[in-house]
A and B are shown apart, each in its own frame.
Chain A
Amino acid sequence: MHAIIYRWPRYLISLFLIITLNFALPRMMPGDPIANLIGESAYVSEATIQEITQSLGLDRPLHEQFTLYLQSLASLDLGYSYLLHAEVSSIIIERMIWTLGFVGIATLIGVILGVLLGAAAGMNRSQKSSQLWTYGSIAISSTPPYFLGLIALSIFSFHFGLFPLKGAPATGGILTWLHHLALPIAVLALFIAARNCLIMRGSVIQELHEHYPLYAKAKGLTDRMVLRRHILKNASLPVITQIALDIGFIFSGALFIEIVFSMPGMGMLIYDAVLSRDYPILEGCLLVIAIMVILANIAADILYGIIDPRIRRGE
């Protein structure tokens, strides 16, 4: 437990860093700070500009502005999108549900698949099949995830017409949803599986250099039992840390896949916000993603603590 508490300041500082950056970017960047704060292509009346200047305290010194900014964050106010005419927080929450569901399901499938294939590849390094997994994984993780999406879309949707072009139906029951979501989830899961396969493989190979698998074998366990009862558990430790650190990357990959499949999640939101330079939305998204990465790391710490007695009972 000690180790987890020890890391708390780092999470807080990293959150603080992002918040500070969010605060500083529109105010420091070249150009009109008002335009930077509300988005370049938003047209607002003179009265609204006055109002914004007032509420954000733009006419006051920076440290007072920062206090105001922190206060509004504390009340979960991420600002207002003058292009979408809505609170940034409510827009993001609406979109985030999509993205979280999408990333959650794909991560679950991808991690299980990747860990199993990686373990197999690490155990029998010279086998043809494990080399296939290994090189396949390198190839997939060398490809931008959205390009995997493009290929899947052009093969399965355009060429064979098996799946719809868009990843989200307007209406319909659970089957329609599954039909729409199957392809993007498969693509993201494949991407995640490839990365985890490589990590797990390396981790298993590392564990094989240890002595305890040999001693477990000396107790009369078969190779399969040694793998299941000993190596898998030990090798999963570095994988947990890696996945947590990878969450930012997986999330970004998911955003781009959403764009390719026109899914109404945060990816599309960011894409549209980039095109229209809707800065409040972009800043809100960055903050939310950063918080998710931090949460994933905290979750990984807790999981690590449950599995590893050295962390749980350590000094």
Chain B
Amino acid sequence: MSRLLDIKNLSVSFVSGEETVRAVTDVSFDLCEDEVLTLVGETGCGKSIIAHAISGLLPPEALVSGEIRYKEKDLQSIPEEERVLLRGCEIGIVLQNPSRALNPLYTIGHQIRETILRHTEKSKEESNRMVAGALRRMGFSDPGIEMKRYPFESSGGMNQRFVIASSTILSPDLLIADEPTTGLDRSRIQDVITEFERIMEEEEMAIILITHDLAVARRLADRIGIMYAGEVVEMGDANRIFEEPYHPYTKGLFGSLPENGCVPIPGVSPPMSRIVSGCRFHPRCGKRTAVCERDHPQLGMIDDRYVRCHLCHSQ
């Protein structure tokens, strides 16, 4: 497998007045073709910001540093005209909150077709056939009807699948899905998972799946990255990490799952504008020592994975 995406030392911050919000700090990872990487972490830890940074959708006031290499191109330094054409064609993104991602005034068919018309020379009729085909593959038996619907006429789960169809219609090389299951009920979540499994089987696509639903991560991920307060704290093979988490935060996160007894991690995530010194997790960590309060731990290799924890490294 060759390398598709390589992110080095990505940091994103927002400055407003006196305050600096460090949304993402020093995140590095790579991604191979056909690989599924899941990013998990509590709300506000910077997952969406990473997704937007890769697709170039950050607002103009965001300060970005580091390198995002996609197929050996540095996305930060290529001209905007080139980057615009990558979006939707080579890099597809499914935004958080499906119903709001669709324009309420256009039909589903129009909105999925828009991507095709933008990037290819296909006629409207050909595009419509393509859209119908994609919807049929997703299990909609009568795509003609679905295409004439407006977003307000379909449920949140259906809209989410329409957005997935729209983002994958041109078979992008990289698909970023930002919390595709949040806000859906159980059976809809199952539909979306099935949809992703179908994509992974049928298409050659690298996927970055952002979620805070660990069950979804477990079903779909090859590799998993755990984020806390803008940093990656543990990253490695999904099966291995689910079997045996190393970082105290990962352990806490897994412990809060229903099957593990629903024990929540005490405390709340710190505001990103006032980063604590030392390990960012230490105020909530049951095993903290003096060094945790003093020194900021580095992300280091332990066994088969990367971990950012003084305790794991000293063992």
Give A residues with C-beta under 8 Å from B: 210-212, 214-222, 225, 229-230, 233-234, 307-310, 313-314
Contacts and interface: CB of A to CB of B under 8 A. Distances in A.
Given A210-B100, A212-B102, A212-B103, A219 B95 contact: no
A220 B152 CA distance: 24
Given A212-B101, A217-B87, A234-B103, 14 more contacts: A214-B101, A215-B102, A218-B87, A218-B167, A219-B88, A219-B114, A219-B115, A220-B85, A220-B87, A221-B114, A225-B118, A310-B150, A313-B150, A313-B153
A225 B153 CA distance: 26
Given A210-B100, A211-B100, A214-B95, A219 B118 contact: yes
B55 interface: yes
B119 interface: yes
B160 interface: no
Interface of B: 55, 57, 84-89, 92-93, 95-97, 100-105, 107, 114-115, 118-119, 150, 152-153, 163, 166-167
A interface majority secondary structure: helix
Contacts of A220: 84-89, 115, 118-119
Contact of A219 (B87, B104, B105, B152): B87
B16 to A, nearest CB: 13
A308 B57 CA distance: 27
A222 B83 CA distance: 10
B82 to A, nearest CB: 11
A218 B55 CA distance: 7
Given A217-B87, A218-B88, A307 B101 contact: no
A215 to B, nearest CB: 4
Given A218-B87, A219-B115, A310 B152 contact: yes
15 contacts: A211-B101, A212-B102, A215-B101, A216-B114, A217-B87, A218-B55, A218-B87, A218-B93, A218-B95, A219-B87, A219-B88, A220-B115, A234-B105, A310-B104, A313-B153
A230 B96 CA distance: 19
